[in-house]
Amino acid sequence: MVARAKPSLPEELFLERLPSGGWPSWGVVYPSTYEVGSSNLGVQYVCWMLARMGARVVRFFPGSFPRSLEGNLHPLELDVLSFNVSYELELLQALRFLDSSGIPILWRERLDGEYPLVMFAGALASLNPSVLLPFADAVAVGDAEGGLLERLLGAVRERAGSSREELLLALGENPSAIVPLSPRRARPSRREALLGWPSCSLWLSPRSAFGNSLLLELQRGCAFSCPYCPVPRVYGRARFRPLEECLEVLGWARPLVPGPLRVGLLSPEAGCYPWLWELVEGILRMGFGVSFASLRVDTVKDPFFDALRAAGVRTLTLAPETGSRRLRASLGKPFSNERLFEVLRRARESGIRRAKLYMMVGLPGQEEAFAEEVSFLTELADLCGGLRMPVELSFSTFVPKPFTPLEGAPFWGVERAKAFFEELRRDFMLSTRGGAPLELKLASPRESALEALLSQGDGELALKLYRAWREGAKPGKELWELWGEARSRREWYNLVEPA
């Protein structure tokens, strides 16, 4: 028998060391790979805050490591396990982690036993806590920094030695927590101003999705309200970190990071940050490299192209969502294809070598706009062929999200989404005879179907879905029926106060 090699620990540079002692012991779990979890600033903030508040923090990335990175601990050895679930499918990974660790996945089955307290937080907790209820001892809704994490930690400490039930009831007194033992509506916790600490990465690793970049949070929440997008609901109104403070943070980090440093600017849309150009200038003056998140085409202004050139950025990411101007406007993005083409042209002149565009299939009314979608691709191919700029078009299947104006829109399903995409690709290839510098990709519609089920389903559905998923089964008719019922009940609406 061949012994399985122990996965090698990632190379990491901490800006502040996590203390090895402290109480209680708290496992921060990101239910995915190290690459994904390590690039999540929310996870880094939670680790940093808990460590400064005196807890013993250990990190779990079950997609890469079966035990904790710190101390090689088994999950059963911890007092608390908190899961950050940013994306619906990560719930299934979280349940598998509990299951394979010998921890009952249902909170009721943990009442009589020596198990860690299991909490769920992250974007899914704000959007649809009802899918978490059968599994969580407590669901934390909103920003950890709005006093939420501190109060949860306080309750765990105060109730040490009490029965599990008493502890759960104490957690339920927190207005931003939902405790299934005594569920009631939660008010999302908010970090009202983006000022002070924490503001950037706690650790850097070449293995994280953004490489060795120091992530700096410029903005939380969004000033736009695109009717398909859950960001305003999850993170609230737009708050910006002041320019001076951004530069101060970077000045503090500079001596802590040996060698060249790249700063990853985090915001829902980098073009919305009011002092972007001044910030990029400041970053370059300090000798750092810089990278941006995806950009909203109608917020790109002239200085942005100077910023691209000065920073030596090579790839531009934009999210036009669709080739139909009318559909795009209905999604809250009222810019024309010509404006998009102009941005690509200017970006190419500023040194950009390739572009990535996020697109969707399955939008309401998209089948009627099929001819517009094909002609958009053909025009884009002409433009990018002339510019010698390869473009990746990354399509995903539209999933209606709770608390958005499109929450009641239909989900197309796997076969219809695939058929539309294949027809689009075929017509486009015919019109360009296959010689265009565009690459069209469709993210797994099956994963989008799971995402749809979990985005508005309830706990009963989540449990059935988990069991089917574990066995490798496809979502069946019965699950779609449960989804339809849960969707009409809108249980999530009753569990979280609307904004």
Nearest approach, Cβ of 330 to ligand SF4 (angstroms)?
13
Which of residues 200 and 295 has its CB atom nearest to ligand SF4 in the complex? 295
Using rule CB under 6 A, residue 222 touches ligand SF4: yes
The window from 227-235, 308-316, 344-352, 445-453 that contacts ligand SF4 (CB under 6 A) reads: 227-235
Which of residues 64 and 128 has its CB atom nearest to ligand SF4 in the complex? 128
Nearest approach, Cβ of 222 to ligand SF4 (angstroms)?
3
The window from 84-92, 220-228, 374-382, 485-493 that contacts ligand SF4 (CB under 6 A) reads: 220-228
The single residue among 129, 198, 232, 400 that binds ligand SF4, judged by CB under 6 A, is 232
Using rule CB under 6 A, residue 318 touches ligand SF4: no
Which of residues 75 and 232 has its CB atom nearest to ligand SF4 in the complex? 232
Which of residues 332 and 364 has its CB atom nearest to ligand SF4 in the complex? 332
The window from 23-31, 205-213, 224-232, 477-485 that contacts ligand SF4 (CB under 6 A) reads: 224-232
The window from 18-26, 65-73, 80-88, 221-229 that contacts ligand SF4 (CB under 6 A) reads: 221-229
The window from 183-191, 218-226, 442-450, 476-484 that contacts ligand SF4 (CB under 6 A) reads: 218-226
Backbone angles phi, psi at 48, to 5 degrees: -65, -45
- Find where tokens 């000022």 sit: 195
The Cα–Cα gap between 80 and 117 comes to 5
Using rule CB under 6 A, residue 231 touches ligand SF4: yes
For residues 417 and 369, the answer to whether their CB atoms sit within 8 Å is no
Which of residues 332 and 351 has its CB atom nearest to ligand SF4 in the complex? 332
The strand pair at 177-178 and 138-140 is best described as antiparallel
Number of residues that bind ligand SF4 (CB under 6 A): 11
Answer positive or negative: Cα dihedral of 283, 284, 289, 295.
positive
Question: What would the two tokens of residue 68 be?
Answer: 């904790």
Which of residues 31 and 236 has its CB atom nearest to ligand SF4 in the complex? 236
Question: Exposed, middle or buried: residue 468 (CB in 10 Å: 0-12, 13-18, 19+)?
Answer: middle
Using rule CB under 6 A, residue 123 touches ligand SF4: no
Using rule CB under 6 A, residue 226 touches ligand SF4: yes
The single residue among 224, 277, 358, 493 that binds ligand SF4, judged by CB under 6 A, is 224
Using rule CB under 6 A, residue 27 touches ligand SF4: no
The window from 94-102, 229-237, 340-348, 473-481 that contacts ligand SF4 (CB under 6 A) reads: 229-237
- Within residues 266-285, the interface with ligand SF4 by CB under 6 A covers 268-269
The window from 15-23, 225-233, 392-400, 471-479 that contacts ligand SF4 (CB under 6 A) reads: 225-233
Which of residues 203 and 395 has its CB atom nearest to ligand SF4 in the complex? 395
The window from 135-143, 217-225, 378-386, 467-475 that contacts ligand SF4 (CB under 6 A) reads: 217-225
The Cα–Cα gap between 66 and 72 comes to 9
The single residue among 43, 98, 123, 229 that binds ligand SF4, judged by CB under 6 A, is 229
The strand pair at 262-266 and 289-292 is best described as parallel
Question: Exposed, middle or buried: residue 103 (CB in 10 Å: 0-12, 13-18, 19+)?
Answer: middle
Q: What are 266's strand-pairing partners? A: 217
The single residue among 191, 296, 328, 487 that binds ligand SF4, judged by CB under 6 A, is 296
The Cα–Cα gap between 298 and 312 comes to 22
Which of residues 295 and 369 has its CB atom nearest to ligand SF4 in the complex? 295
Answer positive or negative: Cα dihedral of 32, 144, 107, 467.
negative
The Cα–Cα gap between 322 and 134 comes to 37
Nearest approach, Cβ of 336 to ligand SF4 (angstroms)?
17
Name the residues that contact ligand SF4, by CB under 6 A: 222, 224-226, 229, 231-232, 268-269, 296, 332
